[in-house]
Chain A
Amino acid sequence: MKKQIPLIITFIAGMVMVLQFFIPHRPFSDLQQLFNSWFLIITVFAMILGLGNLLKVHTKRLQRKPKGWWYSIVLLAGFAIMFIAGMVWGIERGTFFDFLFWNVHLPMSSMMFALLAFFVASASYRAFRARTPEATLLLISAILVMIGRVPLGNYIWDKLPLVSDWIMSYPNMAGQRAIMIGIALGIVSTSLRIILGIERTYLSGK
Chain B
Amino acid sequence: MIETLGIWIAALLTLCILSFLYKDNPFYKFAEHLFVGVSAAYWAVYSYFNILLPNLIQPLFGQGQFLLIIPLVLGIMMIMRLFPKVGWMSRWPLAFIVGSYSGYHLITYLQSNAVEQVRATLVPFVQIESWKNLFTGPGVITFLNAIAIPVVIVGVITGIIYFFFSKEHKGVFGGLARIGVWFLMIAFGASFGYTVMARISLLIGRMYFLLHNWLHLI
Contact = CB atoms under 8 A, between A and B. Distances in A.
Chains A and B form a bound pair = yes
Interface of A: 2-3, 5-7, 9-18, 21, 34-49, 51-54, 56, 68, 71-72, 74-83, 86-87, 90-91, 97, 99-118, 120-121, 124, 127, 133-135, 137-146, 149-150, 159, 162-163, 166-185, 187-188, 190-192, 194-195, 202-204
Contact of B31 (A17, A108, A120): A108
Classify the interface of chain A: helix, strand, loop or mixed: helix
Instruction: List 4 A-B pairs, minimum CB-CB distance, nearest first.
Output: A174-B155, A178-B159, A175-B187, A17-B103
Interface string B179-202: 011111111111111111101101
Contacts, number: 402
Contacts of B123: none
A105 B158 CA distance: 45
A72 B97 CA distance: 31
Contact of A56 (B42, B76, B82): B82
B159 A108 contact: no
Nearest to A133: B182
B215 interface: no
A17 to B, nearest CB: 3
Given A91-B46, A172-B191, 18 more contacts: A37-B71, A38-B71, A44-B47, A46-B93, A71-B30, A82-B42, A99-B6, A118-B21, A142-B189, A142-B192, A146-B196, A166-B148, A171-B186, A171-B187, A172-B186, A178-B160, A180-B117, A191-B105
Contacts of B103: 13-18, 191, 195
A97 B30 CA distance: 20
B189 A18 contact: no
Given A104-B10, A171-B155, A6 B95 contact: yes
B20 interface: yes
Given A83-B45, A163-B140, A141 B190 contact: yes
7 contacts: A14-B103, A72-B33, A174-B156, A179-B187, A181-B114, A188-B110, A192-B106
Given A6-B91, A195-B99, A175 B37 contact: no
Given A18-B103, A41-B71, A108 B34 contact: yes
Interface of B: 2, 5-7, 9-11, 13-14, 17-18, 20-21, 29-49, 51-52, 55-56, 67-68, 70-72, 74-76, 78-79, 81-82, 88, 90-107, 109-110, 112-114, 117-118, 120-121, 140-141, 144-145, 148, 151-156, 158-160, 162-163, 180-197, 199-200, 202-203, 205-206, 209
Contacts of A90: 49
Binding site secondary structure of chain B: helix
B117 A7 contact: no
A165 B193 CA distance: 12
B35 A202 contact: no
A177 B117 contact: yes
Given A35-B100, A86-B45, A107-B10, A13 B95 contact: yes
Contacts of A53: 82
Contacts of A13: 95-96, 99-100, 103
Given A105-B42, A179-B159, A117 B6 contact: no
